[in-house]
Amino acid sequence: MENEECTSCGRNLRAAETFVEFDCPKCGETISRCGKCKKLAREYECPECGFTGP
Ligand SMILES: [Zn+2]
Ligand SMILES: [Zn+2]
């Protein structure tokens, strides 16, 4: 695990039941998001380049 916090809500992923990791489509940085934000389809923001997406 590269990032320990959900990029959408800032929740600690070690405390989350589920989470997903994927690469930023723009810069390839690993983005982590908790299962709750994934389910709610919250926007994410890449911590590296600021790219936002659904
Ligand atoms: Zn979250
Ligand atoms: Zn990026």
On the question of pLDDT at 18 being above 60, the answer is yes
Number of domain units in the chain: 1
Cα of 5 vs centre of ligand 1, distance in Å, is: 8
Q: Which residues surround ligand 2, an ion (CB under 5 A)?
A: 24, 26-27, 29, 46, 48-49, 51
In which domain, by residue range, is 6 found?
1-54
The confidence band for 53, taking pLDDT boundaries of 50, 70 and 90, is confident
pLDDT at site 1: 56
pTM attached to this predicted model: 0.80
pLDDT above 90: percentage of residues in the chain: 76
> What whole-number distance in Å separates Cα of residue 24 and Cα of residue 29?
5
pLDDT at site 47: 87
